[in-house]
A = this chain, B = another copy of it.
Amino acid sequence: MLEPIRIGVLGLGTVGGGVANVLLRNAEEIARRAGRGIEVIQASVRDVHKDRSCDTSQMQLTEQPMQIVNNPDVDIVVELIGGTSRARELVLKAIQNGKHVVTANKALIALHGNEIFDAAQQNGVMVAFEAAVAGGIPIIKAIREGLTGNSIDWLCGIINGTTNFILTEMRDKGRDFADVLAEAQALGYAEADPTFDIEGIDAAHKLTILAAIAFGVPLNFDAVYTEGITKIEGKDVSYAEQFGYRIKHLGFARRSDHGVELRVHPTMVPEGRLLANVDGVMNAVLVHGDAVGPTLYYGAGAGADPTASAVVADLVDVVRSMTADPENRVPHLAFQADSIATQMPMLKIFEVETAYYLRLRAEDKAGVLADISAILGAANISIEAMTQKEPAEGETSVDLILITQAVQEIHLDDALRQIEALPEISNNVVKIRIESLN
């Protein structure tokens, strides 16, 4: 058997420790697959004296990640420090030094991937990033290599475990957002500063990557419309259920003749769909190809071992392809670098067409419904279903729920402005997009 491949790991925290553990625990099986061993010879940490979650007896620890990037004995650099500034610098330097890179850093790829892949191409090295999207689910591989015969029409996914955990708890136990968020933080499912998760930024990073490899467009994070789950109330979860829907925080990417739409937002999904039944911290991605139809990929989206599973799969891929002609490797973004459609229009959210759930707070008196119906009718917006709740004891206003048929968002928003101006309407209308996932 060939000499083992020598790995340098930048960042030996939760995921880095998981990678080291999996490589040791499954060393024999991994070598039987890859044809040679894969060994961590060096790792960077913030404090070399701190206790570790993995055996570090066979590796050299350093507090200087640049030492690893410049270490001539290191064949592949695994970047797990996160963030985009220092990580970008280290990854680009590793590439310049002719090293292959494996990263789990979704923000880095979403924001700087075009530059990084360009540099990798010029230096004849590979940058693999399976762990950047949906943790242990091999979704990058599935889209990039498993569906190459398809023109991919659309994809959508539950790609942030924290928001899915929160929405699942809100539905299952009728709890409030803030309450569940606090528990998620205590359980380690949510960060102390949960903004990236609950405002949808993390999901937008991942959607950026999925859309690029599905449609053959450049990474374009700025084109993603991003909306979090902080405005979802318990009553919306419960009303959704009454109409046969569940609220999921989805990343959604679709390609049409007009261009590509990229959006992350709470979405009502029919309760019978598999995606509606993906609960807790689990992730799932639904990909629709013109030949294969719908396919779905489900698994753990985070955690030390599941993320390590993806990192190690990338390492084996890189080991298998290292000696191949660089021109003949799987392209980083699924499409050959000179075949990426840089001119494809990116649609704004107001150009998107979906159905909507609307919740209004209206005075409980005659004529209100007629006014609302008149405004929607004038805008050519069809109502699929409508229900008026009973006023609570002592209250004179009621919740009014409307489900619309598909309409372009700009027209809906126009109508909503008129509705909100009605004297009988006391709230900003709550609007949740609906996708049938057909």
Contact = CB atoms under 8 A, between A and B. Distances in A.
Contact of A298 (B151, B296, B324): B296
Contacts of A429: none
B313 A145 contact: yes
Interface in A103-149: 130, 135-138, 141-142, 145-149
Copy count, this protein chain? 2
Interface in A273-291: 274, 277-278, 284, 289-291
B26 A149 contact: yes
A360 interface: no
A297 B316 CA distance: 21
Nearest to A306: B292
A293 B299 contact: yes
B328 A325 contact: no
Contact of A312 (B149, B284, B297, B328): B149
A324 to B, nearest CB: 4
A150 B26 contact: yes
A22 interface: yes
B22 A291 contact: yes
Interface stretch (A42-50, A261-269, A332-340, A343-351): A332-340
Interface stretch (A29-37, A73-81, A197-205, A233-241): A29-37
Contact of A316 (B25, B149, B293, B317): B149
Contact of A26 (B30, B151, B306): B151
B32 A293 contact: no
A327 B1 CA distance: 12
Q: How large is the interface on A (under 10, 10 to 19, 20 to 34, 35 or more residues)?
A: 35 or more
A323 interface: yes
A16 interface: no
Interface string A40-74: 00000000000000000000000000000000000
Given A35-B328, A325-B323, A145 B150 contact: no
B136 A145 contact: no
B321 A32 contact: no
Given A274-B277, A292-B305, 18 more contacts: A18-B291, A22-B291, A25-B290, A26-B150, A26-B151, A32-B339, A136-B289, A137-B292, A138-B141, A138-B295, A141-B141, A145-B313, A147-B309, A149-B308, A289-B309, A292-B306, A295-B297, A320-B330
